[in-house]
Amino acid sequence: MNITPRPLFPGAHVAIIAPSGPIRGDEAQREEVIHQVDAKLRSWGIEPYFYPTTKMSRGYLAGTDADRARDVMEAFKDPSIDGIFCIRGGYGVQRMLDLLDFEEIAKHPKWFAGYSDITALHIPLNQKCHLVTFHTPMPFEFVKDDFDAYTEKWVKAAMFGELTGGLLDELPSIRPTHSLWEEGSVAEGILVGGNLSLVSSSIGTDYAIDTKNKILFLEDVHEDVYRLDGMLNHMRLAGLFDDCAGIVMGYYTDCGAPEELKKLEEVCRELFPKDKPVLMDYSCGHERPTISLPLGANVRLDTAARTLSVL
């Protein structure tokens, strides 16, 4: 059983780190985003502390690997910090994984959130540190025009310990959520996964995802269907679909026109085991509105009712 960290609360001190890519733009533009994020989080009752990497830019990375790893470690070890938000994704987490001390992190369990490239951190935090973490949009998105009230509601639910029970109630889906197979079925297990490309590229490393008896969640963005096919097939050949208890497929954003996404469903029918429950087009990922998810938590997947519930 994984540790569910203490939720955030009014007045909580939250570290804002950049373990992947930088805030886009020049120094003045980065400062403006930080100013807006600071105001947004304070309006929710949170006291944000912006770590050095949030103000760094080194090409497509927010500082060196050592810079970004240092911020992760210091945020977990600092006793005055109650939780950690990754300000954005992009690319870079996998480069610094071997610079992190997961035994030390496990001694300081804290609320942690992010998604996309942050999947590469969720996996070892769930598996090596036995910590429940949160798949949520990230602070730089909180100040965008498309950050809607429904998405905000679920981010706050993750932050303040209210991400419980059914996670599909009245959820407006861009595409109707449905079972991949004609008959629905039920499975229970620890929820794992995140961004498909990061999950797939973890295979064969010390940070590979373990899907044994787990509910596997997958989403992605900006990938052609043949690329998604290749990544899913890689997972199939590695036995990850045979091992898992069930699969939830989220948003596949900018991965082709509707007819292309129909091809993705055909790929799933060919690659996924037919004796496992599979929920398609679950409203979570890189589109809005999106729900937030507790990775590492015990959940029940019911494809007949089209629900994912935290137990």
Cα separation values, 216 from 6, 109, 272, 280, 306, Å: 24, 23, 12, 12, 15
pLDDT at 173: 63
The answer on 282 and 178 residing in a single domain is: yes
- Using one digit for the tens of pLDDT, what is the confidence trace for 40-70? 999 999 999 999 999 999 999 999 999 999 9
Task: Give the whole-angstrom CA distance, residue 264 versus residue 270.
Answer: 10
The answer on 23 and 134 residing in a single domain is: yes
Helical (H) or strand (E) element with 261: helix 258-271
The answer on 141 and 181 residing in a single domain is: no
**Among 298, 6, 288, which residue's Cα sits nearest to residue 155?**
288
So which residues are the catalytic ones?
A: 116, 219, 286
Q: Enumerate residues 6+ apart whose C-beta is below 8 A from 124.
A: 97, 100, 102, 207
Picking from 109, 130, 159, the residue at the C-terminal end of a domain is 159
Mean pLDDT of all residues in 226-250: 98
Q: Is residue 204 part of a domain?
A: yes
The answer on 206 and 94 residing in a single domain is: no
pLDDT at 170: 63
Mean pLDDT of all residues in 176-194: 93
The answer on 29 and 86 residing in a single domain is: yes
Q: Is residue 266 part of a domain?
A: yes
Whether a cis peptide bond, with omega within 30° of 0, leads into 289 is yes
pLDDT at 123: 98
What is the DSSP code (8-state) at residue 97?
G
Residue carrying the six token digits 């730089």: 140
Q: Is residue 219 part of a domain?
A: yes
Indicate whether 116 pLDDT > 90: yes
Indicate whether 109 pLDDT > 80: yes
Indicate whether 168 pLDDT > 90: no
Mean pLDDT of all residues in 132-161: 97
What is the DSSP code (8-state) at residue 207?
T
Q: What is the CATH number of the domain that holds 38?
A: 3.40.50.10740
Q: Is residue 92 part of a domain?
A: yes
Mean pLDDT of all residues in 210-222: 98
Residue-number span of the structural domain to which 113 is assigned = 13-159
The answer on 154 and 169 residing in a single domain is: no
Average pLDDT, the chain: 95
Picking from 103, 127, 159, the residue at the C-terminal end of a domain is 159
Mean pLDDT of all residues in 144-170: 91
Helical (H) or strand (E) element with 141: helix 139-142
pLDDT at 39: 98
- Using one digit for the tens of pLDDT, what is the confidence trace for 57-107? 999 999 999 999 999 999 999 999 999 999 999 999 999 999 999 999 999
Mean pLDDT of all residues in 214-232: 97
* pTM given for the model: 0.97
Indicate whether 175 pLDDT > 80: no
Tokens of 131: 């910590």
The answer on 76 and 20 residing in a single domain is: yes
Percent of the chain with pLDDT over 90: 91
The answer on 171 and 144 residing in a single domain is: no
Contact 186, 276 (CB under 8 A): no
Percent of the chain with pLDDT over 70: 98
pLDDT at 258: 83
* φ, ψ for residue 111, nearest 5 deg: -60, 130
Indicate whether 169 pLDDT > 60: no
The answer on 145 and 218 residing in a single domain is: no
- Using one digit for the tens of pLDDT, what is the confidence trace for 272-289? 999 999 999 999 999 999
The structural domain count of the chain equals: 2
Contact 15, 49 (CB under 8 A): yes
pLDDT at 167: 83
Picking from 107, 127, 159, the residue at the C-terminal end of a domain is 159
pLDDT at 172: 61
Q: Is residue 270 part of a domain?
A: yes
